Structure 1
């Protein structure tokens, strides 16, 4: 009963901490499409809705929809329970004519309150014949089999280096963004080559992995675009400095003109895979020298900064420690600035500063702070002064030098009552504490543990026995380690061994989607499990996966024809059900069970 009562109390407390989110009702769709292109229109609300009034869509052909899907999760952090819920209404539309068209607002009712979405404008341009939607896969895989390169031209795909400034001062930072432009469907990324950045110091900006490309209208044509990389660059010399080309190997899926004779060609088309390198053009940066009228305290700092300094104590005793902390904060080349020059009294022992920084690299450059902590130990009593010191920098906003100052600290040092010549520091960690004057060791008391001369392990029989055992153990370790490295180096062997494990994990994820009635995600994950198993088990690169290729490779492994046709049939059914307007739950169950069954059969035959 006690446990039950405590459970009810805790549950009641947690439920009172659930914070309701504000209701948002949004519309998602591409901003630019081509005539004849199919695309998805989604209305999303973050709450359970009681009614949905769809928009009156007149300028686009409605191929399917509205279909619904839901997702939810609950998270608990610091006693706060947050529930996230999302309900989606999806359409599949087709653009039928050129122009700019507006999707009207939709309405939804949540808790008896009406919410209206924004209207959404879509630009439809002349069709180019390329309707392949791009996908990306951040897993770099070694492509061992040849793929077609003849159908990809440099005008269809390229990299572009976009710089925030083309004219800067020496040491003045600017942002370089590497952006991919492609008119083709990307299936995978290969090798990515970054230039050496001769003449620059670089800092890379962390950006999320590229998982989805967006659409842009470039000179009347739709390009799929995405940010590949971002850098902060600091020029180290004057004159013209060239940023050499970036290079990215891309794998594409292109609609083929060939027909296999299958009736499914009319619905899905036939595709071939191709690879090509996307290159950027060189970018020239003009770098000017900073003005000559530099202050004496200038040491190369460029940007916008402020300085704070503090002394933790103004009155101490001899051989005690005091800390001078200098903090420089702002935006600029923070990482490379140095401490101001300070003239300390000659009676002070001053240690090299302890340097720490907290710097973040983002779109606006390097921001944060850098701290210098000086440990100071006075040796003699008296009144001392740390004079004013300066830190100067070149302000890129005003194009002038600016000087910051701090200091002029008075320190009163009294003679210690017990002149032990042992220095005690209070502000630093144990590893920073310095002990001086320890020239006499402590005299130990009690009985001594003395041994007769010559009674040592070195040179004895035990010594050589231990020596041989250690050598043998080391040899065994090297042998096992070398074997593991060789096995792990064979990527295809590792993928082959773990193919069934990877497939089971994907099937578990598909099962979860099935229970949540998320049909589209279920079929997508099921197809990924089947194709992934074939790719891993037969060592077929993702860019070369096709039904004909899979069939021939399975036949070469002596897999019976019934199993081959069964897995191909399941893939066809999944793809058809994925794009069909309606899919029954019973069909999902059948396809899931058939997928589990065929993977088990293939696992037994491909051992």
Structure 2
């Protein structure tokens, strides 16, 4: 409330009163803190009215004036501002005059609404309030809750065709760190949309006295395959029972300059080329390595293709070491070429220029071409670079191969006689309770003698050792013949098949190697060396492999557990009936449950290992309809794993990992379930 005016004549008295007020209140005004914003109620329901207010410690409402300020997005004014005098109390119980400024507002969006500092003036002095947070929620079953505030974070454009754009889905303005329980992100059209959960980091900021967190949910790398306007679709997240949905975000993509069409590179890159040896002999191999490093669309650009000028390309292999980053893929791609010459002479290798577009400098950069010369002689002692494809380092030793031969007991027919003792024990107990032990011994003795006398097919250790020696000497062709002969006699030895696959790769038979590794993974749970070799065989920047090496519980272990739990179930049942103890009945039920679990693991392994897989035998062009004269459709590279969905005469309908279908001849694919027939036809 205001101070009442003094009555009485005289301008001198009025001047003295004004001078007294200014001198008395000026020191206190300069020392005051920024007024705090107050919200009532807080939180508030969507589209409900709430009051925003702050207080100023001045004696008269006429001393306070409000300046124009921008309301937060989603907030609109219902009434105000209302400026009035109030009386406040000090800690000692005395009171003093002050001024209250209030607004009545509404919010048409949910979330934590961040209010800025509100400008106002006291006399001629400009001041501002502190910041504030109003929480706006929605009612569900009469309970007010605040939804998650989700948002796509992408860097500032412009963006270009083929550019790898990082996009992070974040939860904003969280007062505590919540972990998402369920995330739904529809794939964006118009390009490649790959998940990169390592993108983003938790950020915190102080807004007034409140700590707000920005928590990344997941990240993606979006690589548009053309120019135009694309969208990151709406995503929904649930965390600790609270849900939220983001808005879709438009991504405007411009066309690349024509000079970059050859490589399609967008980012910043550099190229290193390994030096060639000083010389080589006819028929010997040398290695050329071309390495691209940098950041951008490293996973999708096309490296420069060298011209070997008469040299024979024995094999090429590409490896990569890159990761997702805020500028796309960061790291390197390396292509290794094994070359040899069939005649002596000087050979010039030409590596063409590599153009790419740098979006940060908005310019086209062209790395210069490279020319290398290799001198090849017909003889003489010339040191050459050794082959670095260490296939022999991945091999299984003879001891490991022989151990694998004896682990899968379930493949031996006589082992299933071990399921007889349990039911027979129960049967004898029901028929001959007093003489059960004698009958059981008479039954099990011949059964045990039979099982001990039976044995699986043994492998010739010397033959396995001889094949290993050929593999270590890199005589892959001879080693392949020996391993194939042994594998035809022991087709269920996964480690033996894997060594054969190494030899097939060493002889340049990529498709046969892929097919044999698949057969190996069906016979034994693939370990790290198998998976490493599989990655080197099937890594491709143009195709996603259809088949992933299976992960399953070792069937040999699950079979032994099933055998043990099965017999213990009957033994516990007999003991429960004999001693008439309830806890023994519970033990019997426990062993029965464990038997079913072991059987489930065994059945799952059998299902995974029997999944049909096909491999493209050599580069082939699929067709839209099953006819030789039909239009060419999609080129499938050698070694690509595909799914056979239909057959029409001698044609098969294949489906790639992208879901693209095409017809090829039945002779153009290999099947892991017909391993030896396929390899025999190609030897």
Q: TM-score range by the shorter chain?
A: 0.3 to 0.5
Structure having the higher Rg: 2
Larger helix fraction of residues: 2
